[in-house]
Every structure is written in C-alpha cells, then in structure tokens.
C-alpha cells in the first residue's frame, strides 16, 4: 500500500464524491492500532485515511517525551514503511488542532514535510486539520487562509471546521456549547468557499457541523440534521455556479445509524472520522482476556502467574484483531468496499 501523493489523494476524494461513498478516517496512537487499520483497508479493498490527534501524538511519543508533534512524526514514518506491504492507498492526516496548538503541533509537522520535499522525499502527511471552530468565523478563516497558502505550496490538503462538534475529545470539551453553534449555516459554507477558494490550486475539506457530537450517546440524545449539508451545497451553487461544491467531513460519527451516514454521503461527505468506536473495539478484547486469565496475569498469593497470558503480545494481538473488525464495519457503512484506486 503506497502512501498516496497529492494527485492520488485528490483523485480519491473526487472519486468518493462522484461514486457516492466516503473514506473512513481512523485515529491511531500506536503501531498496533496502525496495523489494525492497514489490514482492514487492505482486506476490504478500500483506500482510506489514517489520522493522528494531538493527544494521540503525545501518547505515541512516550511518557518521557510527551511531545504531540514528535509522536505524530514517528507514527507517520511508521505508516509510510508499513503501508508498503499492502495494495491499497492510504493518506495520513492530523485531527483537530485548535488555534492555540498551531505553532506547537501543526507548524512543526508542515515544516517536516517541507524539509522532506527539499530532499526529494514524499510528504510526511498528506493533509492537516485546523480547528478554529471556537473562534469567530472571520478569525477562523483568517488563520485557515494563512495555513492553506502555506500547505498548498507543499501539496498538502487542509481541513477546516465551522460550527462546533459537541461532546469531548482528547481532553477538549464542547459539552456546554450553545445549541446554535452545533449547526453550520449555508452562509458559513458560502463564506468558506469564497475565502479559501481564492488560493489558486489549493484543495481543502470542510467539517461542517449538523448536530454532531464526539463520543457515543444513547439513541435520541444526539439530534443530527444532515440536510444542513444539502442546504449549504445548494447555496454554493446559487452563489458560484453549478460546478461549486465542497469536500465535506463528518465528525462525531460514532454511534450514528447507517441511514444517517448514507444521507450525509448523498450531500457530499467524503470522509468520516471514526475514533470512539474503534477505541472500544480495541479495548474490549483486552478486558475479556484479563477477566478470563485473572490468575494468570497476576501473581496472586505468592504464585508466579502465567507468562504466556501476561505477555503484552498475547492480548494486544486480540486488540488489533478487534479494532480491525470494527474498521471493516466502518468501510461497509460508508459503502467503500472494493473502491480502491490502486491497481
């Protein structure tokens, strides 16, 4: 699986919009979770997106380093090597970088790609997300425009967000966000297209919100209104012509019904983030292993335990398989099976 270059990544996203499917964007925090995603994409013959959050990067760098950027770089370098063993495309992306972390997280990663390109090497990451949703729209887009201009020079796609995704992720809480902030307006989408579309040759994605919430909630607790996306795409065409459209991203998709997911695809979603569900799928087999092997993983009453069950490999292999199965489900939910462009 070669890591996609800019032209291939753009072709992937255009193909998804044209053919009516979307790519799962799966968060990773270790080599084990990366392997689960790569195997799932390959088994389903679906290209896909692997992404690293600030928290995922910090975790991957180790307790002694605790560097969001260093961990993200290490994970991306691993994926570049591991991907060579599979026959589908994968793109590397960074998730939710708030404005206060642009200089400490996003800029070092863009600089890393700039250094690689100067040496004739491929981009480390193919896209990055700037999350300025907590800012007034004008300031959000002002920063996004600066980042897009820089990213475009290195053939990096930028993802931006308008509106707020509720719930909590990576320690950032929007649980008390005003309800109106959970829904992007058509006017917001038109402004994004107008401002960012001015950067010639640049490509970008928009995470427009329609009631999305990070995490999983009981049925009825989350009020999704996917038609907001259709209204925004319609407003674009009215303002800029029939060719106008946006690559849309679905955040906070964990726990959504297949019908809701398919409706968003109909309105232009080409990427859906999946994290909470895959975290549970990874952890559940570990819990099962520990409960079934309680007296083997612990040295109880002076006993020595059982090495073959407290060896981390014994339960991490099960965790990898559990996460792999959940990623495959995500591919099916997004209608992506068999859509790879790799030949």
Q: Could you give phi then psi for residue 24, rounded to 5 degrees?
A: -70, 135
Nearest alpha-carbon partner for 289 in 264, 265, 311, 315: 315
Give the whole-angstrom CA distance, residue 248 versus residue 272.
Answer: 9
Measured distance CA(1)–CA(17) in Å, rounded: 22
At what angle are helices 258-266 and 227-240 packed, to 10 degrees? 0
Residue 297 to residue 315: CA distance in whole angstroms? 11
Task: Name every residue whose Cβ is closer than 8 Å to that of residue 283 and which is 6 or more positions away in sequence.
Answer: 319
Residue 145, number of CB atoms within 10 A of its CB: 17
95 belongs to the catalytic site: yes
Catalytic residue among 47, 95, 131, 188: 95
Closest CA to 25 of 5, 52, 43: 52
Report the alpha-carbon angle 120-111-270, nearest 5.
Answer: 85
Cβ contact 196:141 at 8 Å: yes
C-alpha distances in Å from residue 26, one per residue of 225, 244, 291: 23, 28, 28
Q: Hey, is 311 helix, strand or coil?
A: coil
CA dihedral 274, 275, 277, 280 (to 10 degrees): 160
Q: Do the beta carbons of residue 247 and residue 204 sit within 8 Å?
A: yes
Phi and psi (nearest 5°) for 112? -60, -40
Positions marked active-site: 95
């Amino acid at each position: 699986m070669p890591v996609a270059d800019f032209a291939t990544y753009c072709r992937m996203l255009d193909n998804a919009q044209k053919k009516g499917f979307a790519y799962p964007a799966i968060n990773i925090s270790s080599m084990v979770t990366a392997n689960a995603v790569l195997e799932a994409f390959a088994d389903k013959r679906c290209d896909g997106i692997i992404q690293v959050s600030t928290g995922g990067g910090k975790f991957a760098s180790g307790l002694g380093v605790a560097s969001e950027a260093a961990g993200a770089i290490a994970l991306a370098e691993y994926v570049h090597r591991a991907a060579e063993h599979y026959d589908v495309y994968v793109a590397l992306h960074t998730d939710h970088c708030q404005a206060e972390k642009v200089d400490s997280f996003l800029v070092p990663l863009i600089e890393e790609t700039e250094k690689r390109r100067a040496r004739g090497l491929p981009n480390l990451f193919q896209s990055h997300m700037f999350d300025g949703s907590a800012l007034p729209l004008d300031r959000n887009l002002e920063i996004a425009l600066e980042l897009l201009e820089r990213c475009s020079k290195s053939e990096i796609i930028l993802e931006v967000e308008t509106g707020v995704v509720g719930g909590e992720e990576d320690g950032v809480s929007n649980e008390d966000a005003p309800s109106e902030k959970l829904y992007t307006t058509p006017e917001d989408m038109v402004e994004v297209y107008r401002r960012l579309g001015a950067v010639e040759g640049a490509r970008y994605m928009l995470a427009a919100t329609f009631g999305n919430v990070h995490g999983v909630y009981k049925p009825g607790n989350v009020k999704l209104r996917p038609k907001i996306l259709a209204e925004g795409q319609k407003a674009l065409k009215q303002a800029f012509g029939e060719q106008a459209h946006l690559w849309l991203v679905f955040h906070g998709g964990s726990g959504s019904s297949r019908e809701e997911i398919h409706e968003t695809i109909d309105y232009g979603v080409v990427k859906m983030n999946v994290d909470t569900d895959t975290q549970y799928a990874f952890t559940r087999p570990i819990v099962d292993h520990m409960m079934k092997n309680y007296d083997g993983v612990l040295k109880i009453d002076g006993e020595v335990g059982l090495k073959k069950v407290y060896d981390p490999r014994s339960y991490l292999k099960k965790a990898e398989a559990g996460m792999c199965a959940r990623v495959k489900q995500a591919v099916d939910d997004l209608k992506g099976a068999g859509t790879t462009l790799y030949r």
